[in-house]
Amino acid sequence: MGFTDTRFNVNLSILFTELPLLERPAAARAAGFTAVELWWPWVDAPVPEPAELAALRTALTDAGTRLVGLNFYAGQLPGPDRGALSVPGEESEKFRANVPVAVEFGRSLGCTSFNALYGNRVAGVPAAEQDALALENLAFAARAVAEVGGTVLIEALNAAESPHCPIVSAPKAIEVVDAVNAATGLDNTRFLMDLYHLSMNGEDLDEVIDRYTPQTAHVQIADNPGRGAPGTGDLDFSDLLGRLKKAGYQGWTGLEYKPGDGPSAGAFAWLPAPLHAARS
């Protein structure tokens, strides 16, 4: 159990970034993956030109890659200024403008999982005010996603790399999940369990898996320290992924790690060779 029982997809916003965006789906397919996920690719455009959306859609379909996860607009990723939905003013307005665009783009590709990143705390705005705005915007997103039978994902980041983000623990992320579900009555908001961020926060990953898998709709992995491929750090992914399986998790596991010094195509040696079927 572990690697051989896991459905892996690759995140094209952190792997294959040595290539232009439209070339990444084909590169992922050549590496053996038929499922991918993306952060919102246009960091300065919550509502990009239709031609840009169409070009990415064509690149994904022509490559034979299925989009299984998409972030809503969240500002500059990667970087410490991530997140938009709880930031008053222009950023949260961009988030709301992005939601219908992202949902329709995802729907056109069969994607129903949408990651909504909380924003950083900002000076001069009470935390309660930001949290109220976040709940309003997350409920807005959950209602939009419900129209395509989809799920909103809430992710905990890590305090070291995102010191101004208020969602830096599994319990806090679950608190937000529960609040959104209570506000909408839709029960379509779930936890995104990123084992790298949780380990960076010093959480007991076994306990997180055992306690929160029933509320988890997506998993992401990278080793710690370093955010590299499994085997470059200290986490035992065979054990962790096996534990997830035993806890009942059957969803996708996104590879969201840095490829190292070489091309991304060489960053999958940790996967046993017969795992082509497990990547699709």
pLDDT of amino acid 82 = 75
**Virtual torsion, Cα 202, 204, 280, 9, nearest 10 deg:** -20
The string of DSSP codes covering 119-133 is PPP-TTS-HHHHHHH
pLDDT of amino acid 278 = 53
Instruction: Name beta bridge partners: 191.
Output: 154, 216
Closest CA to 206 of 178, 233, 171, 241: 241
As to burial, measured by CB atoms within 10 angstroms (0-12 exposed, 13-18 middle, 19+ buried), residue 16 is buried
Report how far residue 280's alpha carbon sits from residue 141's, in angstroms, rounded to the nearest whole number. 28
Report how far residue 155's alpha carbon sits from residue 195's, in angstroms, rounded to the nearest whole number. 10
Buried b (16+ CB within 10 A) or exposed e, 94-121: bbbebbebbbebbeebebbbbbbbbbbb
What is the arithmetic mean of pLDDT over 204-216? Answer: 98
Grade residue 275 by pLDDT with cuts at 50, 70 and 90.
Answer: low
As to burial, measured by CB atoms within 10 angstroms (0-12 exposed, 13-18 middle, 19+ buried), residue 255 is buried
Measure Cα distances from 144 to 42, 99, 174, 215 in Å.
Answer: 20, 7, 21, 20
Across the chain, mean pLDDT equals 94
Q: Where are the domains of the chain?
A: 3-272
In the set 37, 91, 155, 203, the catalytic residue is: 155
As to burial, measured by CB atoms within 10 angstroms (0-12 exposed, 13-18 middle, 19+ buried), residue 30 is exposed
Amino acid at 211: R
Task: Please indicate whether residue 155 is annotated as part of the active site.
Answer: yes
In the set 37, 91, 203, 256, the catalytic residue is: 256
Read off the tokens for 134: 């976040």
**2 has pLDDT over 70:** no
pLDDT of amino acid 184 = 98
pLDDT of amino acid 116 = 98
Q: How far is CA 47 from the centre of its chain?
A: 20
Q: According to the CATH classification, is domain 3-272 in 3.20.20.150?
A: yes
pLDDT of amino acid 83 = 87
Closest CA to 233 of 224, 245, 221, 241: 224
Task: Please indicate whether residue 49 is annotated as part of the active site.
Answer: no
Grade residue 1 by pLDDT with cuts at 50, 70 and 90.
Answer: very low
Report how far residue 2's alpha carbon sits from residue 268's, in angstroms, rounded to the nearest whole number. 16
Contact 9, 36 (CB under 8 A): yes
What is the arithmetic mean of pLDDT over 117-131? Answer: 95
